Amino acid sequence: MKWEDLQTPCYIIHKKELERGIALLKQALADNWKRSIVGYSFKTNALPWALLEMKKAGFYAEVVSEDEYELAERLGFSHIIYNGPIKGRASFLRALQSGAIVNLDAERELDWLEESGLRDVTVGLRVNFDLETVCPGETSAGTEGSRFGFSYEKGAFARALTRLDQMGVPLSGIHLHVGSKTRSVAIYRGLAQMACRLKKEYDLELAYVDLGGGYFGGMDNKPKFPDYMKAIREELSTAFSPEKVTLIVEPGTSLITPPVEYVTEVADCKETYANNIVTIDGSRIDVDPLHRKSSYFHSIVYGHDTPEDARRKAKKQVICGLTCMEDDRLFTLENAPELMPGDRIVFHKVGGYTMCLTPLFIRYFPPVYAEEDGVYTCARGHWGAREYTMGSMIGGDAVYWEEQKKKEHAQK
């Protein structure tokens, strides 16, 4: 399949660019920390095609729910990191028994562990602490503080250590991920410094330190993997040995965002009393589902019938999506060649938190293509009414819909 033949709107994953990001991360880790594990964040983009590429790269599955854990099992991941505050009890116990890395996040998980009687397990504790004071204005939660993990300042972390000791379960590691608005190198210095502080204060003998994700990837003038890993090494090595302790990182956005594009086509152009409106067959909800962005990396591919230099300039064109929401407006073109139906607008770097957050609203899931050397293959087909109803549990399951079709056919 060629680019011109793609059904729009659609996502495209450029396979070689994905592999390049994976290689850069692996090299940065190899250069800075002898023992390391990469856990790919399922929540960032759980497209099975992408997950299998991460598995092929040797990455662990980093999951945060019963559904994600089952997906990792279904796709054959033999190495899983189980995080998050809403683990299912059944999958929690399965994870412990199968040798997964389980980072405890809540008191009830300590209860489950104690009740299970399991002792030879790999568990860590997620640490809740005040990183905002160390990096003012940089954490996602700000002065409200993170809602995850066992509080260091309020003594919950120390109490969790005591409970594990009383159970006879050794603490294998600590998990220190904190959401960041800036993704700065300073954030990871702060996390590594806290890991060292905890080791010294509680005399911890750890098998791993998990610093989570949230890194930049594939962005000019932003930190790169080597910048992050060098800073982590400089701080972490003051208390931990790279030869003895495993560093765990859990990237998602930094790996899957750069190689993904969203291709749309101009469907209609109209002039109103206020604006020139250009409607595309895609939507803002597919590239910015939380409606937080004010600009998008994009490019325009003008149709061959009327090339760019043969078009008159329009003072202002408002690019709008396919939905019936007035705020489905993506950006404005000023003093640019007039767009026409059939032109394509391509949005770049849109792989993270898009496919997984796109709602089933008005138009169902768009197709996803994988590109390699100019050849496109389908990684996920377009969802239409058939796929929507086959996945529904109304009336039972897919058998119900087959029966309905047979009845309709008989009536005809």
Report how far apart, in Å, the C-alpha atoms of 24 and of each of 13, 27, 149, 327 are. Answer: 18, 5, 30, 38
The pLDDT of residue 401 is 57
The pLDDT of residue 154 is 98
Q: Domain 33-256: what homologous superfamily? A: Alanine racemase (3.20.20.10)
| E strand map for 276-403 | 276-280, 298-301, 313-320, 329-337, 344-348, 368-372, 375-380
Contact 375, 1 (CB under 8 A): yes
Query: What pairs with residue 380 in β-bridges?
Result: 368
Domain ranges of the chain: 3-9+260-381, 33-256
The pLDDT of residue 379 is 97
Estimate the share of the chain in helix, then strand, then coil, as percent rounded to the nearest 5. Answer: 35, 25, 40
Say whether domain 3-9+260-381 belongs to CATH 2.40.37.10: yes
Find where tokens 């705020």 sit. 327
The pLDDT of residue 402 is 66
Burial 285-321 (b: 16+ CB within 10 A, else e): bbbbbeeeeeebebeeebbeeeeeeebeebeebbbbb
pLDDT tens for 55-80 read: 999 999 999 999 999 999 999 999 99
The pLDDT averaged over each successive group of 10 residues in the chain (412 residues) is 93 98 98 98 97 98 98 97 97 97 98 97 98 97 97 98 98 97 98 98 98 94 97 98 98 97 97 97 96 93 87 96 96 96 97 94 96 96 87 56 69 68
